[in-house]
Amino acid sequence: MPAKRAEKTAMPQRDALQRARDFGEVNQGYTLARATFEAERCLRCQEPVCVDGCPVQIPIPDFIHAVAMGDMAGAAKILRSANPLPSICGRVCPQESQCEAECSMTQHFDPVAIGHLERYVADWERTQPPGVKANVTRKEKIAVIGAGPSGLVCAGGSTVDATTFLTQLWEQIHVGGAVGNATGRNIHQRSLDEAVRLTKAISAITLGDYDVERAVAVFNGTEDYSL
């Protein structure tokens, strides 16, 4: 096994004078060279304790190995098997106290930059056409109230055993919920927009502008629900 570097691959950042004038992202993201360089630091442990530190149990060594091999499509597929919003989570998830805190490399060196790699793969994916498309095979319909992160994940997860239900997201204010409201300060707008686009592409989803009172009426059966 080749020697592993002790330090994380540095994340490029915008100049301080530039970022002091706007709410744009500080981190610029890995290049392909930096991503593969960092991915090669992963030990691919037989007992991947980093996965235990991930709230959604992403197969971390598997997606990182795909990055090291240059298989970004494979890495994106592995990520999405556990996390429908990798672009957002790669930016805001506190990896330093979760998966990276459990990384075996921390016994002597810096942990593998799992969050930076997740962000890289997600940003690569959004430059590509959707890898899968919705396949509506059931007549039943699903309505998800609230188009925040939980609603997007729920709607994007309406595919079960290759069966897709026609799904509609109901949102009164804006897609993204509180996260969308914070966009520009905390999350890059394109990340949220692309999360919505990809979720709609891989699931049979439409967006509806309905208020809470109507949603409750539909739930109680006093008003008709139709897509």
Q: What is the mean pLDDT of residues 65-91?
A: 90
What is residue 55's three-state secondary structure? Answer: coil
Write down the pLDDT at residue 213.
Answer: 63
Tell me if 214 sits within 8 A of 223, measured CB to CB. Answer: yes
How far is residue 169's CA from residue 143's CA, in Å, rounded to a whole number?
Answer: 6
Domains of the chain: 16-125 (1.10.1060.10), 136-219 (3.50.50.60)
Q: What is the pTM of this model?
A: 0.77
How far is residue 62's CA from residue 56's CA, in Å, rounded to a whole number?
Answer: 15
Q: What is the mean pLDDT of residues 80-94?
A: 86
Choose the weakest-confidence range: 82-86, 115-119, 173-177, 200-204.
200-204
What is residue 153's three-state secondary structure? Answer: helix
With cut-offs at 50, 70 and 90, classify the pLDDT of residue 184: very low
Q: Which residues of 196-205 are buried (b: 16+ CB within 10 A; e: fewer)?
A: bebbbbbbbb
Tell me which residue of 63, 118, 64, 78 sits closest to 95, measured CA to CA.
118
